Structure 1
């Protein structure tokens, strides 16, 4: 059997897998995506992207396409546990201060279109059947429409979901908490008066019953609505059991009386509040990202965003190593930077599950009231908005006395270039390279040896600045140096040593 050779094998063509493959293709690193399905999953599934994900799409020039595919309905803010206080994302100085109602299938369409433009490929109906790794790479076998495929890459990234085949082949433990709540989701046509003109805050869309039913309805395109639901019947259903009109009708009757009924179910699936996370995101030459690395309740709408941001973090690092710009030690930062982020999300979703649970004796209602009052305080609201939107992330730094901007996301500043052109910072990041933004009066010369990996731009900030005369920004949009000493050391750490010319 002939063995096809590539740089990176990506298993799974969901949000994380497509993001990763696109990041690699952007800088010329070959990757092949394997997916077991015959085509893209057309169910909406995750329904929105958070502000930080919107910012990261803007870094690559993908956001306009995503916004063009979004639902024409503006959510007024984020939420924590469905409590009736919108989280104010504007307090985090972002151009995208509200969730974007973008079904997952549409985000995947944006990513796959870009991947195709860049010459990448998704091999559909390719089911992984075997995998072996050695000191130099990973070899996989997969069943395909034309027979069996053998593929070898330097690395493999598992983005194949909660029931990851790669995770099972490796035998990696997936510790955590088993499901206590089973739910369903459906893209459907409804009859009756569906109110899509409410405040746009999620709490206005959550309906419950004393018998334990739960329903949340949000608009989709073409007259469809997305229903997330649970109830006594759903709690007993097997994971692979089809969602039936009778099951949905029972939930709607309990939560909306006779006001709504189901006319047609287009797509449906089931999920739970199981909460699990791999202890190690790397096993030799195999990495895990997205739901293959962590699963949790969808409370708060962070799952898709978490996986896409995993891929943005890992993609440029894999590319740097494969191009010979950086050593293997760069890949270790994926674990140290992304594992704590997912651990916090798991904790937050478990907490929200308790708060959103059915009312019982024991003060749960009073706890909701207390938390609602706390979220009305500007500082508490800003804190939780940053957490839920991914805007507050600060990457670990060994320097306790570092500049306050170090480790934070780079603001998308309005810039005036030396030639008079006005741009945004995100216009400088389309190529997937690092950016040295030089804002001082004296040009920096230290970055010249890294000009093949880092874009050096002199500019002035149009409005409020960074508080530093220069900043070095990684390809994923995080500041890794902000003025002062240590620029050469930082360039070497993140972008590799200077190449000797022979």
Structure 2
């Protein structure tokens, strides 16, 4: 007998969102977290548009929006020209500045309210794989113990015990740059989103809810593989004065830290009944604040697939698509991170010239701004279909269509696909497909975006990506839909 259907190693934002999603689909889940309490340091600070959309698709976004500080854009490589997120095709065209401690608190409240079990002060030490289950080995205040689960998911960070125990290689490059950050009180704060770059280094200042500012940067002496010791307030002040000409009246540090640019990607995200998500799968320099957000998207992709197979309406082969879809996102993530590090450390004359050129291009080419903003905000992620003849929308993120008096995000659920009859109820035969794991909704969209105006029907996955679509003037959609469902539904 299973103790839980899924055990999640790691109670950070990724593991907590995964647990909440599994519970929404009726799956029993245990989160094992070695910390006895949440880390009060802000750590991940940025919540990107696609993450807010993901929360909105479950109706839980409002606390994040109300508590977070909206910022109209972000940066790519700390270039002088900031990316304008207000142009993005999203109901949330901004980033939120919200300390990770609050993000975790909100996600933990959700997971507990949905019935997830959270075991603090314990750590997954390994596992033994069996044909029909995973024996998960834990240790805690009362010593070692073993639990039985159908699946184990490693959300346990860059030094993942689950990844190591699974024997999954995680190749990459070592750290050659040491960034630093300080969460401090500033008596003379600069304008929100201020940044400085020159021969003496890089400095960015970001307001944090609670009267704190985060100062983050790099200086030429930080291009090293030698650890210089812990960051001090005096060093942070010295760096700020050297780069920006002021220490902004900094005092009362809440957190001082250094971090490197070691970049690694797991060879595979699945090993039998064991999966990796978040930092356990990909490690990179925290440029643009994307790490936590990509991890939450990992969880969003994996959760419904685990639930679908455990609830019996999808074949086990569906689980293979988790690696197939998310590993390429990890490749893009690590590559983009490396590119940003190159721009952020281009302190010489030639590097500064390259930065000025790139900044001018972002200003002169709105499409470049939009492409980079959509990439950082995870709105550009698409999962290409195996069938080259599939509709062009297949695999793309579904927008928040207004259908009648309801938005599409409000219709999505963690436990089922959504089949949209966009003719208002005239598409022949679509109602017959309603079954466990698939709901049908009828209604004509109001002012649909480009590419959606001519659709007769669309099948949207629980994570908000299009699984299948058919145009109004195409062939009878029934046969195509039946083929699409054959790979995802029993």
TM-score normalised per structure 1: 0.89
Aligned residue for 2:444, secondary structure, equals strand
User: Partners in 1 of 2:209 and 2:220 — Cα distance?
Assistant: 30
Greater shift, 424-433 or 112-121, is seen at 424-433
**Partner of residue 466, structure 2:** 479
Alignment of 1:206-217 (within 5 A): 206-208=195-197, 210-212=199-201, 214-217=202-205
Question: Within 2, Cα distance between the matches of 1:176 and 1:431?
Answer: 34
**Aligned counterparts of 1:281 and 1:35: Cα–Cα separation in 2:** 21
Say whether 1:104 aligns with 2:100. yes
Q: Which position in structure 2 is the counterpart of 1:177? A: 173
SS of 1:176 mapped into structure 2: strand
- 1:193 paired with 2:188, answer yes
Task: Verify the 8 A CA contact 1:44 1:226 in the aligned structure 2.
Answer: no
Matches within 5 A, 1:423-462: 423-440=406-423, 441-462=425-446
* SS of the residue 1:333 aligns to: helix
| Cα drift, residue 121 of structure 1 | 1.8
Segments of 5+ residues of structure 2 without an aligned counterpart are 471-476
Q: Give the 3 Å change call, closer, same or farther, for CA 149–360 of structure 1 in structure 2.
A: same
CA contact (8 A) 2:233 2:256 kept: no
CA distance in 1, matches of 2:102, 2:226: 28
1:290 and 2:278 correspond? yes
CA contact (8 A) 2:10 2:156 kept: yes
Which moves more between the two structures, 30-39 or 424-433?
424-433
Aligned to 1:113: 109
Aligned-residue offset at 1:128:
2.2
Distance in 2 between residues matched to 1:340 and 1:316, nearest whole Å = 19
Flag the 1:250–1:89 CA change in 2: closer, same or farther, 3 A.
Answer: closer
CA-based RMSD of the aligned residues comes to 2.3
Query: What whole-Å deviation, never above 9, does each CA across 1:205-247 have from its counterpart, x for those lacking one?
Result: 22356444x4322111221122223447767798795443233
Residues 243/367 of structure 1: CA separation in 2 closer, same or farther (3 Å cut): closer
Rounded Cα–Cα distance in structure 2 between residues aligned with 1:18 and 1:335? 20
CA contact (8 A) 2:136 2:152 kept: no
Residue in structure 2 matched with residue 24 of structure 1 by the alignment: 22
Q: Which residue of 1 aligns with 2:484?
A: 490
Q: Is the 8 A contact 1:77 1:89 kept in 2?
A: yes
Aligned partner of 1:500 in structure 2 is none
Does structure 2 retain, via aligned residues, the 8 Å contact 1:208–1:255? yes
| CA distance in structure 1 between the aligned counterparts of 2:330 and 2:115, rounded to whole angstroms | 31
Match of 2:269 among 281, 284, 301: 281
The Cα shift of 1:387 comes to 1.7
Within 2, Cα distance between the matches of 1:247 and 1:92? 38
Q: 2:213 aligns with which of 196, 220, 225?
A: 225
Are the counterparts in 2 of residues 239 and 270 from structure 1 also a CA contact under 8 Å? no
1:253-268 matches, cutoff 5 A:
253-268=241-256
Q: How is 1:16-95 mapped onto 2 (pairs within 5 angstroms)?
A: 16-71=14-69, 74-95=70-91
Deviations 1:75-99 (A, max 9, x none): 2223221223333445442111111
**438-447 or 477-486, which moves further after superposition?**
438-447
Distance, in Å, in 2 between the alignment partners of 1:159 and 1:32 is: 12
- Show CA shifts across 1:305-344 (max 9, x none): 1100000000000111111111211011011100111101
Matching residue of 2:447: 463
TM-score, structure 2 length as denominator? 0.91
Distance 1:242 1:125 in 2: 26
Unpaired segments of 5 or more residues in structure 1?
A: 417-421, 498-502
Q: Is the 8 A contact 1:180 1:273 kept in 2?
A: yes
Distance change >3 Å, CA 131–CA 352, structure 1 → 2: same
**Number of equivalent positions:** 478
